[in-house]
Amino acid sequence: MNVSTTKIVVRYNETDKMGIVHHSQYVNWFEIARTDWIRQCGLSYRAIEEEGVMMPVLGIEVHYHSPALYDDTVLVETTLAAYDSIKMSFNYKIFREADRKLLVDGTSSHCLTDLSLRPVSIRRKKPELHAIITQAAGLA
């Protein structure tokens, strides 16, 4: 299941006066899609945090190719790009559904931490969570 697809219909409040999606919205869509990827693994951010694991963002990279417009339906394809039980990164590709045109691509990187935001090895601290992630990513 390394790839998940999230469908989003562009809402009016996500656009500027010209009906073009504001550049900041793509990062929000990355988060929505990442949450869906985790959910499709059979987990949830909430459950992971309740287990005492946080996933703060270390960095975001976004490349803009073509604008999304008000009322477009876009597809966000999310893949786990790297995982070493302490850090993980995701790749994103956003396409307009109607013509499959690539609009945006990017990455996000995350550190797995305890509640004090100290990095932790999920392989050692939460082996069951590590197993789910590696299996979902096709790394097992």
From 74, 73, 120, 124, select the one nearest 95 (Cα to Cα). Answer: 74
Alpha-carbon separation of residue 31 from 6, 8, 12, 125, 138 (angstroms): 11, 12, 19, 25, 21
- Residues labelled catalytic: 16
Cα torsion at 4, 50, 56, 66 (round to 10°)?
30
DSSP 8-class letter at 111: E
